[in-house]
Amino acid sequence: MRRARRDYIDLRSDTVTLPTEEMLEAIRNAELGDDVYGEDPTVNRLEEMAAKKMGKEAALLVTSGTQANLVSVMSNTKRGDCAILEAECHIYHYEVGSISAIAGVLPWPIKGEMGILDPRDVENAIKPKNIHLPETTLICIENTHNRYGGTIVPPESVKALHKVAEEHGLRLYMDGARIFNAAVALKVDVREFTRHVDNLMFCLSKGLSCPVGSLVVGDEEFIERARKVRKILGGGMRQAGIIAAPGIIALEKMIGRLEEDHKNARLLAEGLSRIEGISIDLKTVQTNIVLFDVGGLGVTSERFVSMLRERGVLALPRERTGVRMVTHRGIEREHIERALTVIEEVSREIKRGET
């Protein structure tokens, strides 16, 4: 018999969060209109709230983080331009090559340190004016950084990159899917990050527990372009207040609780560090993502994750021996303790050759 999903401890991603009862009630009671005509009052309220919270002029509701990044890249560039980005970033790895296939922009990846770009490397990568070369017009950063384990690009690093961008007439864009995790972890206002970027996006549907949606934020001129690009991509929505209503609650009530996810991630990471055969770099565990390696057990991550699933714990394999776990609303301390017990049991079985 297949196990019901609710019986699992689901640590695959914070995208699996479900809306709160208050969010569901807000959806049912949302005041609606046609958002393509700018007439959905609930969407308008959410966009105004998002712009204010980020210290920018305007915002735009879109369907997903991937759409937000594509809309933003296209609104910051023209076809044939070059965009500098961190080599492990989400835009480069996980968005089906849309930056090239749809935006027509050449991505120029640079390896960072735990997701943080060195301003000198960025400056060296800016292409000179030359008829043979694409024009560099955009720098993209990701905060927190997914593939490095939810690591934070601190405000001073964002500021240094903005200085490079400003000196060379480039725009600085932030994929801030989990930017509130960064702000909560450092105990600073989110505007300490956003003040140094021209525009950004953030997700509602991860740690903030909304069922769908992301927001693109910037100045009024940028958002006007983004609205047109969203329409080109088929992202114009009608009674989108049903998406916006839980987003309003998220911005009002769900940000502070991210600290609980961070504490659970640290508990998980420290427990993993004590299990023989598992290796983890604790300095990367800064927010709610935990990456570890099972190479010391002599199995692939696919096999290890499969054995966890059989015992009711869900995780994601990464590369050959890497595993990712993410804490979120719905995961409590007791779930972490149970998951660690299962991981230890599986590790012992593997070492005894019982797999």
Domains in the chain: ranges and CATH: 5-16+257-351 (3.90.1150.10), 21-253 (3.40.640.10)
Q: What pLDDT shows up at residue 353?
A: 80
pLDDT digits 0-9 by tens, 111-141: 999 999 999 999 999 999 999 999 999 999 9
* Averaged pLDDT of the chain: 96
pLDDT digits 0-9 by tens, 65-122: 999 999 999 999 999 999 999 999 999 999 999 999 999 999 999 999 999 999 999 9
Q: DSSP letter string over 1-16? A: -PPPGGGSEE-S-GGG
pTM: 0.95
Predicted confidence (pLDDT) at residue 260 exceeds the cutoff of 80 = yes
**How many other CB atoms sit within 10 Å of the CB of residue 311?**
16
C-beta separation of 10 from 326 below 8 A: no
**Tokens 């965009």 found at:** 83
**Structure tokens, 77:** 């560039």
Predicted confidence (pLDDT) at residue 7 exceeds the cutoff of 90 = no
Average pLDDT on 228-236 reads 97
**Percentage helix, strand, coil, to 5, in the chain?**
45, 15, 40
pLDDT digits 0-9 by tens, 181-210: 999 999 999 999 999 999 999 999 999 999
Predicted confidence (pLDDT) at residue 145 exceeds the cutoff of 80 = yes
**Tokens 């776990």 found at:** 325
Q: 179 has which bridge partners?
A: none
Predicted confidence (pLDDT) at residue 171 exceeds the cutoff of 80 = yes
